[in-house]
Structure 1
Amino acid sequence: MLNRRTLALSALSATFSAGLLAGCAKETAPAVDYVLLDGSQRSSSQWAGKVMLVNFWATSCATCVKEMPQIAATHLKFNARGFDTLAVAMSYDPPAFVARFAETRKLPFGVAIDNTGAIAQAFGPVQATPTTLLINKRGEIVKRYVGEPDFGALHALVEQLLKEA
């Protein structure tokens, strides 16, 4: 049975640990180069000063297909305020399927195909789809979602990040 002193020490320890973790440096997003479906070459260095959502997905992933309209809506909601989105199709996804999906769904953001798996490797490695990363204006990974995010909470976090300098 725990006594009051043990409980107080546990609470103090948890509070101290949480304070230490809050002050820890965030993971910096890796430097990656990629090609969008339209053939344009891009680099993560172009993300500086933006809040970025990077979504790793596949056309064969039911959850990815289900969440894509919400990712598009998130992009449209925040894009004019310094928010951007990149959808990265996994290396095993047939390029023709990815292109057809992006075209028929009229995705309003950049879509890249990670042919070699190098982008997914650089970010984790990313092994499960969907995996979504939220990156702040300083290029730090603020949140990593495996599976479909809670879009209400995601939107609140995007709002907060857009207000940061």
Structure 2
Amino acid sequence: MKTRDILAIAIVAVLVAGGLYLWLAPEGLRPAPDVSLQTLNGETVSIHGLRGQPVLVTFWATTCPSCIREMPHLVELHERYNARGLEVVGIAMSYDRADHVREVVETRALPYIIAQDVDSEAAQAFGQVRLTPTSFLISPEGRIVYQKLGDIDWDVVERNLERWLG
């Protein structure tokens, strides 16, 4: 075998091993960032403060059709799992006007935590989130186990919730 072939095989093996590690790692991809946000109710919510329970964080915008389309699913998920420990946190992007955010929240009767990322601190902490919807499922241990730009795969989220919440 040529050196080039051996090198190619080694690179493929490392990539496969790394992919398997990320896929099989029970602790998740990376720790969730410790950010605190002001909710529309004037309270402070800390991602670190929610540790010990699963959290679904979703960055959204009032002008994002996909974000608006997923809201009924988020409400349903909140209603089904909140009593068992799930927290859903919707984070409105910094470019959204507060009155528009309030209008959407009131019109859609969103029962879960809504915060506005006024200074983009949360978007930066979660890895430079710029597009919406972008969602993160955080394990009770505080690790990001699922990250999605675009429509959420609800089956993946619910499988994890059932595993954690029984």
- Structure 1 residue runs of 5 or longer lacking an equivalent are 1-8
TM-score of the pair, normalised by structure 1: 0.85
Aligned residue identity for 2:64: C
In 1, Cα distance between the equivalents of 2:26 and 2:110?
Answer: 36
Is residue 130 of structure 2 the alignment partner of residue 152 of structure 1? Answer: no
1:1-165 aligned within 5 A: 13=13, 16-21=17-22, 22-23=24-25, 26-163=29-166
- The answer to whether the 8 Å contact 2:33/2:48 transfers is no
Shift of 1:161: 3.0
Alpha carbons of structure 1 residues 45 and 150: separation in structure 2 relative to 1, 3 Å: closer
Shift of 1:159: 1.3
Alpha carbons of structure 1 residues 40 and 108: separation in structure 2 relative to 1, 3 Å: same
Cα deviation 1:23-80 (Å, max 9, x = unaligned): 4863000110111001012212221111000000001000000111101111111111
Cα deviation 1:114-134 (Å, max 9, x = unaligned): 111111010011111000100
In 2, Cα distance between the equivalents of 1:123 and 1:57?
Answer: 13
In 2, Cα distance between the equivalents of 1:116 and 1:43?
Answer: 15
Aligned residue identity for 1:147: G
Aligned residue identity for 2:105: A
Cα deviation 1:78-110 (Å, max 9, x = unaligned): 111111110000001111000111111110111
In 2, Cα distance between the equivalents of 1:102 and 1:114?
Answer: 15
% identical equivalent positions: 36
Alpha carbons of structure 1 residues 27 and 16: separation in structure 2 relative to 1, 3 Å: closer
- Structure 2 residue runs of 5 or longer lacking an equivalent are 1-8
In 1, Cα distance between the equivalents of 2:18 and 2:97?
Answer: 45
Alpha carbons of structure 1 residues 139 and 65: separation in structure 2 relative to 1, 3 Å: same
Alpha carbons of structure 1 residues 91 and 17: separation in structure 2 relative to 1, 3 Å: closer
